[in-house]
């Protein structure tokens, strides 16, 4: 099973993903591989991280969707597919829904972003952690790290998430489930676990 966790910056994806690994390993007695995107270990990963950290500020807007798509395809080829082939469960913290949200524009439609990602594996389920802007900003402030490129304008990106989710459901038949992530990590993980368990029946 290939699971993706998505949400705005500060929505608690990484913490929830780590706890979901523990819950799945104990429930299914299977190895669970946790990964994330963008990922430094794969194609263009260092370049992307430097752009996000604002170390590289001069880039053509078309470069980013391509860089994320290449990073993803290499991630699929060298990690996700081999782990799935070995019978493991894979969880990715962010995936192509993030590219639709952050890399689409008037000049680069959802369709074109997905065309760049056409060879990426389709997740069995995508969880969207829905968390209020206030909670997201609070969680980001608690991290005490320099602000990255897309870590503001949460309103705009929330609207983009909603449109992108509808687009994927309508045109790509993706299985996307919204999770209320405003509560405790335990509550968030339990909601995801219930849905995964129901998919096994």
Point out which residues bind ligand TMP (CB under 6 A).
Answer: 9, 37-38, 52, 68, 94, 98-99, 102-103, 148, 150-151
Nearer of residues 24 and 64 to ligand TMP, judged by Cβ = 64
Nearer of residues 38 and 89 to ligand TMP, judged by Cβ = 38
Nearer of residues 15 and 31 to ligand TMP, judged by Cβ = 15
- DSSP labels, the chain: -EEEEE-STTS-HHHHHHHHHHHHHHHH-S-EEEEESS-TTSTTHHHHHHHHTTS-----TTHHHHHHHHHHHHHIIIIIHHHHHTT-EEEEES-HHHHHHHH-BTTB-HHHHHHHTTTSPPPSEEEEEE--HHHHHHHHHHHT-PPPTTSS-HHHHHHHHHHHHHHHHHHH---EEEEE-SS-HHHHHHHHHHHHHHHT-
Task: Tell me the closest approach of the beta carbon of residue 85 to ligand TMP, in angstroms.
Answer: 23
Nearer of residues 9 and 174 to ligand TMP, judged by Cβ = 9
- 2 within 8 A of 172, measured Cβ to Cβ: no
Task: Tell me the closest approach of the beta carbon of residue 94 to ligand TMP, in angstroms.
Answer: 4
User: Which position's Cβ is nearest ligand TMP?
Assistant: 102
Task: Tell me the closest approach of the beta carbon of residue 153 to ligand TMP, in angstroms.
Answer: 10
Task: Tell me the closest approach of the beta carbon of residue 103 to ligand TMP, in angstroms.
Answer: 6
Task: Tell me the closest approach of the beta carbon of residue 151 to ligand TMP, in angstroms.
Answer: 6
Nearer of residues 31 and 70 to ligand TMP, judged by Cβ = 70
């Amino acid at each position: 099973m290939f699971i993706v966790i998505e949400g705005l910056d500060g929505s608690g994806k990484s913490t929830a993903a780590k706890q979901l690994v523990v819950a799945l390993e104990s429930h299914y007695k299977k190895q669970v591989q946790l990964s994330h995107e963008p990922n430094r270990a794969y194609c263009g990963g260092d370049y992307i991280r430097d752009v996000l950290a604002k170390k590289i500020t001069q880039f053509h807007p078309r470069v980013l969707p391509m860089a994320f798509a290449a990073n993803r395809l290499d991630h699929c080829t060298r990690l996700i597919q081999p782990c799935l082939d070995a019978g493991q469960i894979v969880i990715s913290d962010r995936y192509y829904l993030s590219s639709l949200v952050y890399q689409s524009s008037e000049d680069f439609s959802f369709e074109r972003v997905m065309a760049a990602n056409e060879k990426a594996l389709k997740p069995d389920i995508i969880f969207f952690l829905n968390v209020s802007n206030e909670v997201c900003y609070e969680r980001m402030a608690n991290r005490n790290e320099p602000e990255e490129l897309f870590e503001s304008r949460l309103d705009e990106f929330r609207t983009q998430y909603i449109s992108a989710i509808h687009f994927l459901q309508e045109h790509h038949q993706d299985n996307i489930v919204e999770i209320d992530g405003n509560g405790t990590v335990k509550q968030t993980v339990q909601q995801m676990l219930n849905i995964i368990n129901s998919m096994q029946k």
